[in-house]
Structure 1
Amino acid sequence: MHPLLNDIRLVAFDLDGTLIDSVPDLAAAVDAMLADLSLAPAGETAVRDWVGNGSHQLVARALQAGLGTTPDPAMLERAHERFLYHYHQAPCVRTRVYPGVVEALSALCSRSVIVTLVTNKPQAFIAPILTALSLDDYFRATLGGDSLAEKKPHPAPLLHLAARFDVAPVNCLMVGDSRHDVEAGKRAGFRTLAVPYGYNHGEPVASSQPDGVVESLGELV
């Protein structure tokens, strides 16, 4: 397997932009929310640059763009509720698994590596999406952005998983597509691996200086 996996006992994967391309469904929910507020649709291209910091930030960025100003807290909460409503209706219609993902997850599990998921997406969406995409059996644990008091780029979710499985951070790897994943991994003492095809606010993820970059997770096999 990939040299970065030497002595690794636990791997924490990001979800959106790393394992799956979820933007088509996220953008549909964002545009439906904006329509509820009589605002113009944002579209997939814009949403790709807004994803990565959780649903509240996604909605805040969409409102900022649609209004041309910062939304007040009450409006943001109303809009967030509408976004969640629409996303709940269809969280996995056009979402797809990236090439190489299934092969990588299968290979890690076959080698008894503990495979986990750490995403800033709300926890309620994780199981339905993983099940719909036939990925649910690979993960020993999943954490959403609302599972703990802190979310990425804070290291708490990663340290929580390392402690839960009694694995030293030095023997753990964080795999993601954004600077927030790399930062969380570094702060937790994990090794870090990045993919360049995901959502990183329009910036090359290599600029965050992960320990390694792979074009496809199939390279881990």
Structure 2
Amino acid sequence: MHPLLTDIRLVAFDLDGTLVDSVPDMAAAVDAALIDVELPVAGEDKVRHWVGNGARVLLERALDDALGEAPGHTLTETALEHFLEHYHCAPCARTRLYPGVRDALEGLHGSGRTLCLVTNKPEAFIAPILSALDVERFFSSFLGGDSLPWRKPDPMPLMHLCQRFDVSPRECLMVGDSRHDVAAGKAAGFRTLAVPYGYNHGEPVEQSDPDAVVESLAQLL
């Protein structure tokens, strides 16, 4: 096992950009929503830089890009509703696990550690994606961006897991791909591990100073 896992009882994972590459499906839903409100599509490359802060922020960024200015509340709500409808129809058509993820989940779960998921994605989409990729069974809990009054980078979702599973923060590890994951983990008192291949708004995740960086989650074993 990776040295960072010493004395770790609970591992909290981010989802998008850490365990799965979900941009192809999210981009398709974003573009469909933009078409619905009669705006030009964004494309997958742009969406890849916009994800990570929840569905509403994603749509705000897409609308801002299409309009050249911040969108109004009504337009944002309308586009968000369309996005959620489209994404609900196909949340895992082209979403795939990153290499090494399945091996890491199997190994960590087999070691007796509690695995949890903490994402800013709406909770309704989590189980369908995990189930479609056959990894739902590894997780004892998952929290979406709308599961609690707080979301990353706020540390409260992580503190919620500590309370639920009766573990101290020093016995927990946060694994993610972005500065929001690292910030949440540090603020909660967790150790932090980052992967460099995900969605961090074009910034190297190393700049967020995680405790460690691995090229593949298989390196945890």
Q: % of aligned pairs identical? A: 66
Amino acid across the alignment from 1:126: I
Q: Any idea what SS the aligned residue of 1:63 has?
A: helix
| Corresponding position of 1:63 | 63
Say whether residues 1:204 and 2:204 are aligned partners: yes
- Aligned counterparts of 1:201 and 1:217: Cα–Cα separation in 2: 21
Q: Any idea what SS the aligned residue of 1:38 has?
A: coil
Q: Offset of 1:74 from its aligned partner?
A: 1.2
Q: Any idea what SS the aligned residue of 2:174 has?
A: strand
- Aligned counterparts of 1:45 and 1:57: Cα–Cα separation in 2: 17
- Aligned counterparts of 1:126 and 1:31: Cα–Cα separation in 2: 21
Say whether residues 1:54 and 2:28 are aligned partners: no
Q: Provide TM-score, normalisation by structure 2.
A: 0.99
| Corresponding position of 1:35 | 35
Q: Offset of 1:88 from its aligned partner?
A: 0.4
Q: What are the residue-to-residue correspondences of 1:1-221 with 2, within 5 Å?
A: 1-221=1-221
- Aligned counterparts of 1:161 and 1:43: Cα–Cα separation in 2: 36
- Aligned counterparts of 2:79 and 2:42: Cα–Cα separation in 1: 14
Q: Any idea what SS the aligned residue of 1:88 has?
A: helix
Amino acid across the alignment from 1:202: G
Q: Deviations over 1:108-142 (max 9, x none)?
A: 11110000000000000000000000010000000
Unaligned 5+ residue runs, structure 2? none
Q: Any idea what SS the aligned residue of 1:70 has?
A: coil
Q: Deviations over 1:177-207 (max 9, x none)?
A: 0000000000000000000000000000000
Q: Any idea what SS the aligned residue of 1:199 has?
A: coil
Q: Offset of 1:75 from its aligned partner?
A: 1.0
Q: Provide TM-score, normalisation by structure 1.
A: 0.99
Aligned residues: 221
Q: Any idea what SS the aligned residue of 1:200 has?
A: coil
Q: Any idea what SS the aligned residue of 1:11 has?
A: strand
- Aligned counterparts of 1:135 and 1:162: Cα–Cα separation in 2: 22
Unaligned 5+ residue runs, structure 1? none
Compute the RMSD of aligned alpha carbons. Answer: 0.4
